[in-house]
Structures are given as C-alpha cells and as structure tokens.
Amino acid sequence: MKIFAATLLRHYDWQLLPDQNLDLMVVPSPRPRDGLKVTFKALSE
C-alpha cells in the first residue's frame, strides 16, 4: 500500500472534488462523512 501511495504522489496531480461534506465522522475511526473523493491527473514528463 505504501508503494502504491508513493507512486500516486509522485506521478499524479490530486484534486478534491467540490461540494463534499468533509465533517469528520468518528465511528469506528475518524473519516470524512462523504468519504474523500478526488480526481487524479497524470503529470506529463
């Protein structure tokens, strides 16, 4: 999982999608109420 995340961080641009409810829900663990919806765009090399 760490290798996958490192690849996304290096080779893609992340953007949060608009109109999300990012209030935290704490059961069973802290996370945004609507999840965390993002779009990925490959960076040109």
The least confident of 1-5, 18-22, 36-40, 41-45 is 41-45
Query: Against a cut of 0.85, is the pTM above it?
Result: no
Residue 29 has a pLDDT of 85
Preceding amide of 28 cis, omega within 30: yes
Percentage of the chain lying above the pLDDT 70 cut: 98
Q: Which residues contact 12 (CB under 8 A, 6 or more apart)?
A: 40, 41, 42, 43
pLDDT digits (tens, 9 = 90+) for 9-26: 888 888 989 988 888 888
Reply yes or no on whether the pLDDT at 33 is more than 80.
yes
